[in-house]
Amino acid sequence: MVNLGRTCFEKTFKPLRKYLREGFRDSLRVFVSGGAGGNGLPKFGGIGGNGGNVIVEAKEGITLENVFKQNRTKRYVAQAGKNASHNFILGTPGENVVFEVPVGVSVLTDLRKKLGHLTGELNVEGEQLTVAKGGIGGHVKNGFLGSKGQSYSIKLDLKLIADIGLVGFPNAGKSTLLSAISEAKPKVASYPFTTVKPHLGIINYDDFRQISMADLPGLIEGAYANKGMGHQFLKHIERTKLLLMLVDINGFQLGPKYSFRSCLETVMLLTKELELYNEELLKKPSVLVINKMDTEGSVEKYKEIKPHLLNFKDFVSTYEENMRPNNVLKFADIIAISAKENEKDVKTLKNKLRILLDVMSEMQDSEQVDIYSATKESFREKGPTFV
């Protein structure tokens, strides 16, 4: 009877989906507590030792999954300071607790306030940030009573660092492109949202040059307001050097309940989502790639939309204000490819991406140079010079 009661009234929990149990982890909540200060000794004016601090240190080559596995309790508590005594008038300070986190981590409180300096990010290996300060040891001004250390939960938030970030609606072919252009093996299927965790691919060149490309979960309309994968996706875009917007030449429809969006409308709405999340993203160098050029009628469709893409600001002005962005991305190049069927297309794209990143690297230190114009010029075919 007891067992039956437990079966009927015990709360049941659904097991986590596989993709939530495994793979890429981009956030981790942990508890941190500074050590308490030791008590002083009024009779001899003894001063208690200060409590230890909890410190995070940036390290290359590790992930938040590594951080979690090294301490599954997710608790970091520093040592308390020693009390003053007859033999030790000055109490010994408590030892600090230092734990390593990946380079690129932001440290946030539960109220989303960033700790530390203005950006709240640890971007250099060896950089440290005190996340919980220890209490002050007891002395004459506090009645010789040591104070408690800071104690709260923090969130370690990681933004993926990559040279190129793939931007697109679900089923645009991002995973197919990543697997074709690099050695990454993301899941590829003919239905939306096959990518539920970020994938990082490395593009290798014959001269051993390497470029990193991130395939991130597909956006949907309203992603800026955290719909769908929302902020889980968009935050990673901020830490890429180049945006590669990938769209389907045939347009996109998420499902029967959603409106069909043409190829041009897809570009416009993706731009709108980026702008609503962070308008600074529209200042990043970008490339537009029109995919699935192996499908029937794709060549004719591309010829029809190409003039509008070259004068995209005029095109978006014909739409209602709630759909069109205030500004548009300046694409350094527009490339039509078939990521699935045409290796030559993929190779051409691969070379153009390298050229663009090289030009950006050369120009980034000069405030006088227009990176967009410089990259646009680098893609022009140059013929022989006649004298």
The helix (run of H) or strand (run of E) holding residue 69 is helix 64-70
Q: Indicate the average pLDDT of the chain.
A: 81
Q: What is the pLDDT of residue 42?
A: 94
Looking at per-residue confidence, does 241 or 26 come out higher? 241
Q: What would the pLDDT profile of 154-163 be if each residue is shown by its tens digit? A: 999 887 678 8
CATH number of the domain enclosing 110: 2.70.210.12
5 in a structural domain: no
Range among 122-126, 374-378, 380-384 rated most confident: 122-126
318 in a structural domain: yes
146 in a structural domain: yes
330 and 284 co-located in one domain? yes
- Number of structural domains (the chain) is 2
126 in a structural domain: yes
CB-based contact 251:266 (threshold 8 Å)? yes
CB-based contact 43:89 (threshold 8 Å)? no
E-assigned strand segments in 70-196? 75-77, 97-102, 105-109, 121-122, 128-132, 151-158, 162-167
Which amino acid is it at 78? A
11 in a structural domain: no
Give the model's confidence band at 378: pLDDT under 50 very low, under 70 low, under 90 confident, else very high.
Answer: low
Question: 14-21: which pairs have CB atoms within 8 A and are 24 or more residues apart?
Answer: 19/196, 19/197
12 in a structural domain: no
100 and 175 co-located in one domain? no
Range among 119-123, 261-265, 366-370 rated most confident: 261-265
138 and 286 co-located in one domain? no
pTM equals 0.65
pLDDT of 369 strictly over 90:
no
122 and 257 co-located in one domain? no
Q: Name the domain boundary from 132, 158, 184.
A: 158
pLDDT of 370 strictly over 70:
no
What values do phi and psi take at 263, rounded to 5?
Answer: -60, -45
Q: What is the pLDDT of residue 117?
A: 63
102 and 78 co-located in one domain? yes
63 and 196 co-located in one domain? no
Q: Name the domain boundary from 158, 174, 206.
A: 158
251 and 363 co-located in one domain? yes
Give the model's confidence band at 346: pLDDT under 50 very low, under 70 low, under 90 confident, else very high.
Answer: very high
341 and 232 co-located in one domain? yes
Of the candidates 233, 336, 228, 321, which has an alpha carbon nearest to the alpha carbon of residue 272? 321
**pLDDT (average), residues 138-159:** 93
94 and 212 co-located in one domain? no
pLDDT of 381 strictly over 60:
no
118 in a structural domain: yes
pLDDT of 230 strictly over 60:
no
**Cα(22)–Cα(239) distance, rounded to whole angstroms?**
23
101 and 126 co-located in one domain? yes
pLDDT of 7 strictly over 50:
no
121 and 178 co-located in one domain? no
CATH number of the domain enclosing 196: 3.40.50.300
Encoding tokens for residue 268?
């416009």
Give the range of the structural domain holding residue 75, as residue numbers without chain letter: 19-158
Q: Name the domain boundary from 158, 189, 211.
A: 158
214 in a structural domain: yes
Percentage of residues in the chain having pLDDT higher than 70:
77
pLDDT of 335 strictly over 90:
yes
Looking at per-residue confidence, does 245 or 13 come out higher? 245
**pLDDT (average), residues 233-262:** 83
Q: What would the pLDDT profile of 46-96 be if each residue is shown by its tens digit? A: 999 999 999 999 998 888 889 999 999 999 999 999 999 999 999 999 999
32 and 126 co-located in one domain? yes
Range among 5-19, 35-49, 185-199, 246-260 rated most confident: 35-49
Q: What is the pLDDT of residue 8?
A: 44
DSSP 292-357: -TTSTTHHHHHHHHHHHHHTHHHHHTTS-TTTS-SS---EEEEEE--TTT-HHHHHHHHHHHHHHH
